[in-house]
A and B are shown apart, each in its own frame.
Chain A
Amino acid sequence: MSYTASDNFALTPEILLVLFGCGLLFAGRRWALPLLYTALVFTAIALWRQNIWLDQNRVADLTAFGGALAVDRFALFFDALFLSTTALVAAISKPVIEKDFPEYTAMLLFAQCGMFFISGGQDLITLFLGLELMSLSFYILVGFTRENRRSNEAALKFLILGAFSSGLVAYGFSLLYAITGSTRLSGIAAGLASRDPHDPLLILALATAGAGILFKIAAVPFHMWAPDAYEGAPAPVAAYLAMASTSAAIALLIRLFTGPLAPSRTVWEPLLIAVALATLTLGNLAAIAQSNMKRLLAYSSISHAGYLLLGLVAGNTTGIKGISVYLLTYLFMTVGAFGIIVIVHHEGAVAQNVSDLEGLARRSPWNAFLMLVFLLSLAGLPPTAGFLGKYFVLQSLVETGHYMLAAIGTLYVIVALYYYFRIVQAMFMMQPSSAVTLVSSVPVRLALAVSGAFTLAIGIYPEPFLRFAESSVAR
């Protein structure tokens, strides 16, 4: 098998990311951000050319490496999502980059490269390598503030539990290979089609691979790492973790569970419903009690993972589209909320507690307003983007007859609103504390403005964004 031009074309975005990533390792502090954005622009062009190629040739995907990698609309949608996430996260990372080292930006690119392999991978080995590349980059990013002991602790905890979960994924994948004799998703699908879905070996493979991937999206009961990792990580990394890592793992789940594992739905659906409900419940209820901002957002992101899993439970076109819309909206509100945390400093350090946001409306009405928009959106209230994501997931649940799940999912919006509004109360109804200062820079402000504008725009005129998300299910 030789390396062909079409292989090269399919792999261009990944190649660019790795090359620029390596370049960034040698770049100085001042060049880190410009170089990173150059990388993102080139990658975006590469993705755009792949998109045009798909349009022109009217085929479902761009297959490369004998089918190990296939760039289809689904992959391109997620790639665009990862790219935008990286762009926004890098902007709010400006203070971190200034304080620490430029390797940070390289790690962002390497993680993104891993995600690209996950979204386009058609082979268990490609997928596993993508997952590992992403996870390894994240272990480093979480522990990036080296002098901070909490950050070290979080990174170590994340690493150990993450390695364990990767082991689970590898074990599940190897069992799938053992059952079907193929590592290609298409081969596995063919091998499983003739098999009894209640085969214990298959259930074991499904459970272990599933559990490993669910760990990455911090679904209950595999969520224990998330609050610590979020708390210890620099705020932009937490945003990256919440958004990008979750999206990648969800993309992988969609690939596997609506692809080769679709015939086993009777087996995994009850399990997934149980996990989704547990995730929603624990995420929402535990968030109520948090006084640490990042822990609160960690639990809230766990609850968002619950909604995403509900979309997968529905599993039909509306459900998958719902997940795409959800992630698209989640991107802007998550980066926005963490961006506000980056701005607020308590005695020189980035804000830790909800109480640090007290009186923000008086200090900076504009930032308080943006945070309000992000929080309303996270809770899922119209006319913000978050409403639309939840709306699609609920719609897909009603469509597939999961009425009880739809009702439960709906009612958790109330609980979510309760804890998000504790932050709103702090911002608007309390007096500012003198220990708190606002530290802001142009990229951070820009990222916040973009996030806020999109969060409102998607909520008020969603049509173009829905069409974009729809492209992810066009097969």
Chain B
Amino acid sequence: MTEHLLSITLFLPLGGMLLLLLIPDTQARTIRIWSLAVSLAALAVSLLALSRFDISATGFQLAERAPWIPTLGVQYAIGLDGISLLLVLLTTVICPIAFLASWNVTKKVKAFHALFLLIETATLGVFLSLDGFLFYLFFDLVLIPMYFVIALWGGPRRLYAALKFFLYTLCGSVLMLLGLIGLYFAHIRQFGYPSFEITQLMKLTLPLATQQWIFWALFAGFAIKIPMFPFHTWLPDAHVEAPTAGSVVLASLLLKIGTYGFLRFSLPLVPQASSDLTIVRILLTLSIIGILYGALVSLMQREWKRLIAYSSVSHMGFCTLGIFALNPIGIAGSVLQQVNHGISTALLFLLAGIIYERRGAREISAYGGVASSMPRFAFIFGVAVFSSAGLPLLNGFVGEFAILQGAFQVSRTWAAFGVAGLVLAAAYLLWLYQRTMLGPITHEENRNLPDLNARETAVLLPLVALAFAIGLYPKPLFDIVQKPVAELVERVHHK
């Protein structure tokens, strides 16, 4: 049992999905409860993995390795380090919340829940894989169910948005595959046998030119996924059209696959290229543009969900800024920011979904003074906004502050731009809050909106609690990522 803890976490949702298919379509309530139970079970197993995790050890823990396609040197290899541990936990926390939030979905209930369980397994697979081929497999496997979630349960432009999301991400992922094949052949050439395993690939010594083309190939996959400016155009469409749970999973989990890819593949496997001055400059510039552009566009948005979507572009810019500061504090901050963005954006999308369900209007101008009719909603929305804007004592602050510290060590200019992004974030988020929640009620329809019910509160409270917990006492998180980040920085700078 212990030695297969990660496999159990990984395949629990998939197994749950297969059993789910046996439940008749009409039993909507059973389907909902079953999916929630399966995802909670996955959460429990992942917490067990956390309890077995030794933060003082280096390398991958709880690792499982078995030959899978020996002809190709492909292994079924999964394992955890501090970085993947946090993202796995984020996944197992967000998924039950997404199920609980989708209680009101009545269209094709079974397919909806089956697809989300598939997404959970695929996402966990991405974060757990220690083999490039396996990683690619899960990377693509995420796309197919997500396409259907957007295309079947999405908004009016769902077909367009779903296909755009699919094709765009796939375009990056196939180029990433070419990069992985490049590493694979380099490994055959140097060691005489094929392998996709990360720890094997780390032993490679490659000329800078090779590292560079591989870096750009991997970059295509990850930058589109994050998405970095200028590859972000799929994101607003997909986020806006997706159903609430889809937006939540997309923003909280799927975007992290990109940043995680940089940390797991680009930095350790092509360290010289990743610290190459030109490449670092390009990536930092793109990050800064992303931060500022995302923030400025958010300021201009008239639609609630679109604003949150663009704010993701800005916040994910912070993540890449932290990574390519290439120092311990920057990268640690980036990992924390990934978790925090997962929490705060999930909150924002959940809240937007709740109010949309009641009111059916996406425009910000349709709201105003909602706080007086929905005080509890307004309170939690306030927490979400402050968490996202990076207010001290809440989770958002910790990561962004660390990222800025890291950026400051590299260059004051970069840090200054980053700070500007923070100010803008406060501006668009608080302005959103002001326009929707505060002031007199401008539309009669908003006067009698019912406040949060028990289920909705149960959906939101865990995330609010996490936001406060991480904001007040972030030390455990920093401790978890400390070792792997130190190793990573060591690799990048002394290779």
Pick 19 A–B contacts, CB within 8 A, sort by A.
A376-B144, A381-B140, A382-B136, A383-B137, A391-B177, A399-B185, A410-B178, A411-B175, A413-B170, A417-B167, A417-B170, A418-B163, A418-B167, A428-B148, A428-B151, A429-B151, A429-B152, A429-B159, A466-B72
Q: Is the CB of B166 within 8 A of A417?
A: yes
Question: How many angstroms between the C-alpha atoms of A410 and B167 in the bound complex?
Answer: 13
- Residue-wise, chain A 448-471 has the 8 Å CB interface mask toward B (1 for contact) of 000000000000011100110010
B69-A410 in contact (CB<8A): no
As a 0/1 sequence over residues 311 to 344 of chain B, the CB contacts with chain A under 8 angstroms (1 = contact) are: 0000000000000000000000000000000000
Contact check, B182 vs A398: say whether CB atoms are below 8 A apart.
yes
B118-154 near A? 1/0 per residue, CB < 8 Å: 0000000000000000001100110110001001100
CB of B225 to closest CB in A, whole Å = 15
Q: How far is the CA of A39 from the CA of B167 in the complex (A)?
A: 45
Contact residue among B71, B148, B159, B171 (Cβ-Cβ distance under 8 Å from A411): B171
The interface on chain A, measured as residues whose beta carbon lies within 8 A of the other chain's beta carbons, has a size of: 27
Look across to chain A and name the residue whose beta carbon is closest to the beta carbon of B184. Answer: A395
Candidates B68, B159, B167, B182; contact of A463 at CB < 8 Å:
B68
Q: Is the CB of A421 within 8 A of B136?
A: no
Distance A411 CA – B167 CA, assembled complex (angstroms): 10
Name the residue of chain B whose CB is nearest to the CB of A467: B71
Known: A381-B140, A463-B71, A470-B71. A414 touches B181 (CB 8 A): no
Besides A414-B174, A428-B152, A462-B69, 15 more A-B contacts (Cβ < 8 Å) are: A381-B144, A381-B170, A382-B136, A383-B141, A394-B178, A410-B177, A411-B174, A414-B170, A417-B167, A421-B163, A425-B151, A425-B163, A429-B151, A429-B159, A466-B71
Cβ–Cβ contact A410 & B174, under 8 A: yes
The bracket for how many chain B residues form the interface is 20 to 34
Q: Is the CB of A407 within 8 A of B166?
A: no
B137's nearest neighbour on chain A, judged by CB, is: A382
- List chain B residues, Cβ under 8 A from A407: 175, 178
Distance of B257 from chain A, by nearest CB (Å): 15
| A394 vs B175: C-alpha distance when bound (angstroms) | 11
A462 surroundings in chain B (CB, below 8 A) = 69, 71
Interface 0/1 of A409-423, CB less than 8 Å to B? 011011001100100
A324 vs B174: C-alpha distance when bound (angstroms): 22
Q: How far, in angstroms, from A411 to B143 measured CA to CA in the complex?
A: 17
B window 40-76: CB within 8 A of A: 68-72
Closest 4 CB pairs of A and B: A410-B174, A466-B71, A382-B137, A398-B181
A395 to chain B: closest residue by CB: B181
Q: How far, in angstroms, from A101 to B159 measured CA to CA in the complex? A: 44
Q: Does A351 contact B (CB under 8 A)?
A: no
Chain A residues contacting B182 (CB-CB under 8 Å) are 398
Residues from chain B with Cβ under 8 Å of A461 in the complex = 68
B interface residues, Cβ below 8 angstroms from A: 68-72, 136-137, 140-141, 143-144, 148, 151-152, 159, 163, 166-167, 170-171, 174-175, 177-178, 181-182, 184-185
Report A273 CB to chain B, min CB distance, Å: 18
Q: Report the Cα distance A410→B68, complex, angstroms.
A: 24
Q: How far is the CA of A19 from the CA of B72 in the complex (A)?
A: 42
Inside 8 A of B143's CB, which chain A residues have their CB? 381
- Return the chain A residue nearest B140 by Cβ: A382
B170 proximity list for chain A (CB < 8 A): 381, 413-414, 417
- A466 & B69 in contact (Cβ 8 Å cutoff): yes
Question: How close is B217's CB to chain A, nearest CB, in angstroms?
Answer: 9
A89 at the interface (CB under 8 A from B): no
Q: Complex: how many Å from CA A414 to CA B182?
A: 21
Interface digits, A371-398 against B, CB 8 Å rule (1 contact, 0 not)? 0000010000111000000010011001
Q: Output the nearest chain B residue to A463 by Cβ-Cβ distance.
A: B69
User: Which of A413, A425, A470 lies in contact with B174, CB distance below 8 A?
Assistant: A413
In the complex, whether A354 has a CB less than 8 A from a CB of chain B is: no
Complex CA distance for A421 and B178, rounded to whole angstroms? 23
- A462's nearest neighbour on chain B, judged by CB, is B69
A261 contacts the other chain (CB 8 A) = no
Instruction: Point out the residues of chain B lying under 8 angstroms from A425, CB to CB.
Output: 151, 159, 163
The docked-state distance in angstroms from the alpha carbon of A425 to that of B163 is 9
Q: Does A106 belong to the interface (CB within 8 Å)?
A: no
Report Cα–Cα, A428/B145, bound state, in Å.
13
- Residues of A within 8 Å of B69, CB to CB, are 462-463, 466
- Answer whether residue A107 sits at the interface, using C-beta atoms and an 8 A cutoff: no
Residues of A close to B166: CB separation below 8 A: 417, 421
* Distance from B126 Cβ to chain A, minimum over Cβ atoms (Å): 13
- A189 and B459 alpha carbons, distance in the complex (Å): 74
Chain B nearest CB: distance from A360 CB in Å?
14
Report A184 CB to chain B, min CB distance, Å: 34
Would you give the shortest CB distance from A126 to chain B, in whole angstroms? Answer: 33
Complex Cα spacing A467 to B174, Å: 25
Instruction: Write out the residue numbers on chain B whose beta carbons fall within 8 Å of the beta carbon of A413.
Output: 170, 174
A406 at interface by CB-CB < 8 Å = yes
**Given that A382-B140, A425-B159, A428-B148 are contacting pairs, would A398 and B175 also be in contact in the complex, using a CB cutoff of 8 Å?**
no
